[in-house]
Structure 1
Amino acid sequence: MGWFSLFTGDYPFEFTTLPVLAIVDDHLLFAEGLKGLLEAQGNVKRCLVYRNGYEALQKIPLERPDLALVDVHLPDMDGVDLVRRLQGKAPQLKAVMLTVDDTLETALRAITAGAMGYLVKSAPFPRILQGIWAALQGDIVIASEVAPLVVGELKKIYVRRGRKPSSLFQVLTPREREILRAIVEGKNNAAIAEELCIAEKTVKNHLTNILTKLNIENRVKLIVFALKEGFLEE
C-alpha cells in the first residue's frame, strides 16, 4: 500500500484519548452532516465546524483539534494557503483536504504545502473515515482518483538520475536511512516494521529521530524533501 492511496480494509486505530476533529467548510449542510456522522460513530471526542479560513485561523490555535478537514475552495481564502498558515500557528495540527476538486494541480499544491491527505467529498463515508484514522496515526492518504497522477508527477519533477544526494542525509544512521528509503518508496509504518522485523513503535521512534535531525515537521514534508534532495538517487 503506497503513501498516496487509501486503506482498503479496516484501519486498526487505538487512541489513548479520543481525537478532536475540525471541519473547515462554508457548505454548512455538508459540514454539519459530516460532523454528525463522525460523532455518531463513537471514536471522536468532539467535532468542531469553522465556516471560513479566518475563523479557522483564529480558533484552531486556541481549541487545538488533532486534525482538520479543510475544503480547498473557501469564501475568504484558498484552503491550501490556509493549511500553510495554520502550520505556523498550530504546528501540532494534522490537515487533510476534503474537497470536490480532484485536479492534479490542486492535489500537488496541497501535498507540497504539507497536507497529510487529499480526499474527495464524493467518496463513501467509510473511506473518508479510514483516511482520517490513517492521517491521525501519521500516514498519508490521497484519494484514488488523483493518487497515480500525484505519484507520477512528483517523481517526474524531482527524480533526476545521476544526481548526487544532498549531504544533509549524512546525519542519519544506516537504520534511519533504511527506514527513510522505505517511507519515500511508499510504505507505511506497519509495512516497514514487518519488512525489517522490528516493532511498529520502533519505526515511529526512528521516524521521530529522522524528522528531528532533518528539522522537518511531518511525514509529507519529509517525503517531498527527500525527493527534492535526491535521496532515492544515491
Structure 2
Amino acid sequence: MIRVLLADDEATVRAGVRAILSADPGIEVVAEAADGHEAVALARSHRPHVALLDIRMPRLDGLAAVAEIRRAVPRTAVAVLTTFGEDAYIARALADGASGFLLKSGDPHELIAGVRAIADGAAFLSPRVAQRVITELSGDRLARADRARRRVAALTGREREVLALVGAGLSNAEIARRLFLTEGTVKSYVSTILNRLDVRNRVQAAILAHEAGLADGR
C-alpha cells in the first residue's frame, strides 16, 4: 500500500485529489495538511511514501516544505502539485529534491500513475508540464542541449539506455523488464549515472536526458 500525504490550503483541491487517489486500491491518503508547517509535522509522524505538496500555502510555502521534508524524512519522496502559472518555482523545487511535478487539473489516470512511479523511485513529470519544466531550466536551449550531449557522451552505451528510460519516467522495475536486467542492476546503473552526470536526483537526470535528446529517441 502506497501511503500518501496531501497538502494544499484549498479544501476542495484536497478533496478532489483524495477522491482520485482513493480510486486506486493500492494508494491510501494517510494525512492531509492545509499549510506547510502542518505538512512537515505530518510527514514526520506518518512517514508516508509520497508527499504531494501545493506550492502556495500559508505559514510555510510548499517549496520550503519540500526542502524540510527531504531533510527530516529522506525516505519520503516529494512531488509538487502545480499549475501552468507556477513555472518560476520549478528550478528551486528541483534543487530542493522534488521527485516530480503533477498537474492539479490533469488526467486522473496520470495523477495515479505519477504517484505510483514516484513511490517506486522514479522521476515523474506530467507530460503536459514536462516541456515547460525543460523550458524553465533551459535558458539558451541550443547551448544547454550541446552541453547535455557532451555530458551524456561520457556514459557507456548501456548507461545511456538506462538514462533514456529514466527520462521517459520509467521506474527501476520497469527499466529492468525493458532491458532484461535485474532491478538491483538497474539501481546500480542509476546511482552511477547520477554520480557521473553530477545531478542530485532522477528528475534532474530526466531533464538532462530530454535536453540531450535521449528521451525522445534522437
Structure 2 length-normalised TM: 0.73
Indicate whether 1:202 and 2:185 are aligned.
yes
**Count of residue pairs the alignment pairs up:** 208
Seq. identity, %: 28
Q: CA 1:64 to 1:211, structure 2 compared with 1: closer, same or farther past 3 Å?
A: farther
The equivalences for 1:91-170 within 5 A come to 91-155=74-138, 156=141, 158-161=144-147
The one-letter amino acid paired with 1:202 is T
Q: Which 5+ residue runs of structure 1 have no aligned equivalent?
A: 1-17
Q: 1:77 aligns with which of 60, 63, 67?
A: 60
More off after superposition, 69-78 vs 156-165: 156-165
Structure with greater contact order relative to length (CA < 8 Å, sep ≥ 6): 1
Bigger fraction of residues in helix: 2
Matches of 2:147 and 2:43 in 1, distance apart? Answer: 42
* Structure 1 residues 106-159: Cα deviation after superposition (integer angstroms, max 9, x where no partner): 233323332111112111322211111111112222223321132244353745
Q: Which 5+ residue runs of structure 2 have no aligned equivalent?
A: none
* C-alpha displacement of 1:90: 1.0
Match of 1:11 in 2: none
* C-alpha displacement of 1:184: 6.6
More off after superposition, 155-164 vs 79-88: 155-164
Q: CA 1:146 to 1:182, structure 2 compared with 1: closer, same or farther past 3 Å?
A: closer
Indicate conservation of the 8 Å contact 1:70/1:98, yes or no.
yes
Match of 2:164 in 1: 182
* C-alpha displacement of 1:210: 5.3
Q: CA 1:49 to 1:110, structure 2 compared with 1: closer, same or farther past 3 Å?
A: same
Matches of 1:106 and 1:57 in 2, distance apart? Answer: 19
Aligned partner of residue 146 in structure 1, secondary structure:
helix
Aligned partner of residue 95 in structure 1, secondary structure:
strand
More off after superposition, 117-126 vs 62-71: 117-126
Q: CA 1:161 to 1:75, structure 2 compared with 1: closer, same or farther past 3 Å?
A: closer
The one-letter amino acid paired with 1:117 is G
* C-alpha displacement of 1:102: 3.9
Indicate conservation of the 8 Å contact 1:26/1:50, yes or no.
yes
Q: CA 1:115 to 1:210, structure 2 compared with 1: closer, same or farther past 3 Å?
A: same
Indicate whether 1:89 and 2:72 are aligned.
yes
Matches of 1:178 and 1:225 in 2, distance apart? Answer: 11
